[in-house]
Amino acid sequence: MASMTETVTARDEPGTATSASALADRTTEKPRRTRRARQDSAKRARTLLLSTISIAAGIGVWWLLSSIGFKLPSPADVVVRGWELTVDGTLGADLVASLTRVLVGFALGTIVAIPVGFLMGWYAWARGLIEPWIQFFRTIPPLAIIPLAIVLLGIGEEPKILVIFLAAFFACVISTFQGVVNVDRTLINAARVLGTKDAGIFVRVVVPASVPFILVGMRVGLGAAWATLVAAELIAAQQGLGYRMQQAQLYYDLPTIFVGLIVIGVLGLVMDRLLLLAEKKLTGWQERR
């Protein structure tokens, strides 16, 4: 009987140890997640507080400069002018026109840039054929394309969107290309050792590893698209934030210019935050500071 008891106990010991270890892991994992959540919440609160302080300080400096004689409209003047433009519908129409141009140009630039960047990074022959042209045209400012765009496409929406497209495309294609060529070769070799074909390596290794670079390129491209907007709306525009600012310049209407600047800045910031949120969701496996 004693022998049988010892045998049963000996058989149960490994399972008991395993169960105890799993229970210990579960017991420690929950406090760890709670602590991490608290740290993330505290970090977000601290960032929000610092951002609020920074914005308030910036507005205070702006108000001070306008009060001591600098040729700047006061924040109150800009708010009043913004309200007037909103009430009469001018700001809404300009906002829709500019936002449409930026979104279309940025979307087209990104859609074309990502496959071209992957092609250049994955195939040496494609890199040899395409990269010299990318590097050549990347050094030409999109604004320099405006005269050619007008001659080829007229004065409609097409040349405006083309200029914004080029600004977004070159920023995103270079970043995507760098993401592909910087993929750790150890991961690719390990996948090949396990019998994965090139298509599987590309989908399961290269694409996920390149996503952070693509999203950074998209953020840079979005900034370039907004930066190019004002110049793009030089092309016979009748509506748009850039167009409104150029018209205000003729009459030295500084409050209207500031309204346009602030709206562009706010829209660009909101869109950038949305891309940053997407980056966090898609690259949650990365270590972050």
Q: What is the pLDDT of residue 203?
A: 79
Mean pLDDT of 11-17: 47
Task: Supply 231's token pair.
Answer: 């110049």
The 3-class SS string of the chain reads: CHHHHHHHHHHHHHHHHHHHHHHHHHHHHHHHHHHHHHHHHHHHHHHHHHHHHHHHHHHHHHHHHHHCCCCCCCHHHHHHHHHHHHHCCHHHHHHHHHHHHHHHHHHHHHHHHHHHHHHHHHCHHHHHHHHHHHHHHHCCCHHHHHHHHHHHHCCCHHHHHHHHHHHHHHHHHHHHHHHHHCCCHHHHHHHHHCCCCHHHHHHHHHHHHHHHHHHHHHHHHHHHHHHHHHHHCCCCCCCCHHHHHHHHHHCCCHHHHHHHHHHHHHHHHHHHHHHHHHHHHHCCCCCCC
Distance, in Å, from the CA atom of 98 to the CA atom of 103, rounded to the nearest integer, reads: 9
For the chain, the domains span 1-72, 75-282
Q: What is the pLDDT of residue 32?
A: 66
- Of 222, 112, 103, the C-alpha closest to 167 is 222
- The pLDDT tens digits for 126-156 are 888 998 899 888 888 877 888 888 888 877 8
- The pLDDT tens digits for 72-110 are 888 888 899 999 999 988 899 999 999 999 999 999 999
Specify the CATH number of the domain 75-282: 1.10.3720.10
Mean pLDDT of 10-31: 53
Q: Taking 80 as the threshold, does the pLDDT of residue 255 lie above it?
A: yes
- Of 271, 278, 282, the C-alpha closest to 106 is 271
Mean pLDDT of 11-19: 48
Q: Taking 80 as the threshold, does the pLDDT of residue 284 lie above it?
A: no
Tell the residue number behind the tokens 């910087």, with chain if given: 182
Q: What is the pLDDT of residue 202?
A: 77
- Of 107, 257, 236, the C-alpha closest to 167 is 107
Task: Supply 107's token pair.
Answer: 């979307």
Q: What is the pLDDT of residue 6?
A: 44
Instruction: Report which of residues 196 and 275 the model is more confident about.
Output: 275
Q: What is the pLDDT of residue 83?
A: 93
Is pTM, for the whole model, over 0.85? no
